[in-house]
Structure 1
Amino acid sequence: MTTPLTDTVLVLGGTGTTGSRVVAGLRAAGVPARAAGRRTEPPFDWTDPGTWDAVLDGVGRMYLLLPDDVDLPAGFLERAAAAGVHRVVLHSDRAVDLMDVTRLQEAERAVRASGLGWTVIRPDWFAQNFETFFRDAVLEGELALPVGDARQGFVDAQDIADVAVRALTTDDHVGEVLELTGPQALSFAEAADVVGAAAGRTVRFDGTPEAYRAAMGAAGLPLEVVEELVTRFGAVAAAGDTTPTGTVERVLGRPARSLARYAQEAAARGVWA
């Protein structure tokens, strides 16, 4: 069953890696989409309830992506429902329980209890992390992350966005938690080789806590923050290899994009030039 596409869809986080792709996908499908963030017009600020009503006005559905280290504010979902929102797709994380990401666990509980039609999307590691968080490491040829040699399900942000668009514009996935991976599980060392080959660079990976502590210490991250991250990433290492879920393929009816394809396209865009 298809939801009427006359509703305006609010995309919170609509200028970021995934949100911008959600906005583009909705508009390409002829669906009215409103990107919202601090620099949009009207502006939206999670910490300022005075900015909420203007972006919620006339909205029927909502893609909800919280910034890092921001909790879902009490009363926001109630305000959205009062404004006419009836569907919410929450962008969470596949490691939400494994890494004990409290703010996202609480957001998932709130969405389920909201009375709105809901879908939770839980992506694995973004392929695009290699052009954002890990870009400097790629350029320097040294990437450290304390996850050992456990294989991960690197997923392309375009696939995440396409799944989100499907969840926002159909009734097919209401009440579902969609765990998204790419088509193949790769260790970070293998992923670094894939990215390095596309970028024409050698990228060495070190999955030990010691190397991560040294890298983060050199970057000026406080010791207590580093140790918390070592503990959380350690849970990923201890969990072992990921098994690709096939959810992207099931939802979209096409193959998921591989990390190699992403890396080749990113290199062609000059990401690591």
Structure 2
Amino acid sequence: MKDNILVIGGTGKTGRKVASKLESLGHNVRIGSRSASLAFDWYLPETWTKTLQGMNKVYITFQPDLAVPGALEAIEELTRLAKKSKVKKLVLLSGKGEREAELCEQVVMHSGLDYTIVRASWFNQNFSESFFLEPILEGFVALPQADVKVPYVDTEDIADVAVAALLNDKHNGKIYQLTGPRAYTFKEVITEISEVTGRDIAFTPIALPAYVNVMKQQGVPSDFVWLIEYLFTEVLGNPANSEITNDIEYVLGRQPKDFSDYVKETAVTRVWSPKILA
């Protein structure tokens, strides 16, 4: 039996992979994004009802993060509208170790709908598709919390777990915490990328206040500065986030992708080649 599934954030890091996998399995997928023919915009709640119509399951990713102010109210309203629209199941992508995100999880968990919560550690792809990419291309990376180890998880693994959760009722009512098989410090990450690409990429520890000041001087939007400061203090500062779990193996029956394999695969695409800046 084929499902009608709305993928909110269907052009993002995990959403596009979830959508592609579902489509390959023959399900009817609606992309929830501002650029979609039936637009979905987190900042325009009036777009939500039409996007939900006719859908029986929803994969939810909130931009930029469930921890930001306003996210809880948005998830509350979306959940209310989903229930009104006869949606049967919600799968929420959340952040591992984010207390604010857990408030959003509670909304979904107490909605009366079937649900699965997918708490992910930081993505491998943050280094190739997000805010860590530019300094890597420039050859100089300065970050706070230099000694903290993070078990980075691959978005391919997250997408596979999300698809399994959407399609199989045995995952109803479950909370999965997704990590990679090994934890890395920022210096170890940059060393790995440097060695595989053959580039000289320097890493320097920096105090968080200094890092925040640099972002402000560069004109980074204040809400993004707030989010980065939150993530580096509340998330990376939480020792529990170094914990490695076996939830990916439990759900998928295989090991998660190792960060070193991600680096080797990604290096082939030349995304870390400086000429990309030209």
Q: Same fold per TM (> 0.5)? A: yes
In the alignment, is the contact (CA less than 8 A) between 2:57 and 2:166 conserved in 1? yes
What corresponds to 1:199 in structure 2?
197
Among 2, 10, 27, the residue aligned to 1:14: 10
After superposition, the C-alpha distances for 1:106-130 in whole angstroms (9 at most, x for unaligned) are 3212101111111111111100000
1:174 counterpart = 2:172: yes
Distance in 1 between the 2:194 and 2:139 partners?
A: 8
> SS state of the match for residue 125, structure 2?
helix
Q: CA deviation at 1:224?
A: 9.9
- Structure 2 distance, partners of 1:146, 1:263, is 22
Whether the 8 Å CA contact 1:151–1:240 is kept in 2: the answer is no
TM-score (norm 1): 0.88
Counterpart CA distance in 2 for 1:238 and 1:180 is 16
Aligned-residue offset at 1:237: 3.7
Find the aligned partners of 2:223 and 2:115 in 1 and give their Cα distance.
Answer: 36
Aligned equivalents of 2:43 and 2:78: distance in 1? 11
Aligned to 1:49: 45
Q: Please state if 1:161 is matched with 2:159.
A: yes
Root mean square deviation of aligned Cα = 2.3
- Matched with 1:59 is 55
Report deviation, 1:252. Answer: 0.6
Alignment match of 1:32 (pick from 23, 28, 34):
28
Kindly, what percent of the aligned residue pairs are identical?
Answer: 34
In the other structure, the counterpart of 2:206 is 208
On the 8 A contact 1:185/1:241 being kept in 2, the answer is no
Q: CA deviation at 1:51?
A: 1.4
Whole-angstrom distance in 1 between the partners of 2:153 and 2:95: 12
What do the CA deviations read for 1:13-41 (whole angstroms, capped 9, x no partner)?
00111100000111122222111111001
Instruction: Give runs of aligned pairs for residues 1-273 of structure 1, distance below 5 A.
Output: 5-68=1-64, 69=68, 71=71, 72-73=73-74, 74-97=76-99, 102=100, 104-131=101-128, 132-209=130-207, 212-213=211-212, 215-221=214-220, 229-230=228-229, 232-235=231-234, 236-237=236-237, 239=239, 242-273=242-273
Query: Once structures 1 and 2 are overlaid, which stretch shifts more, 198-207 or 40-49?
Result: 198-207
TM-score (normalised: structure 2): 0.87
Offset from partner CA, 1:86-115 (integer Å, 9 cap, x none): 100001101312xxxx3x233212101111
Gap runs ≥5 in structure 1: none
- Distance, in Å, in 2 between the alignment partners of 1:65 and 1:82 is 20
3-state SS of paired residue (2:39) = coil
Structure 1: distance between partners of 2:80 and 2:6: 15
Letter in 2 for 1:264: K
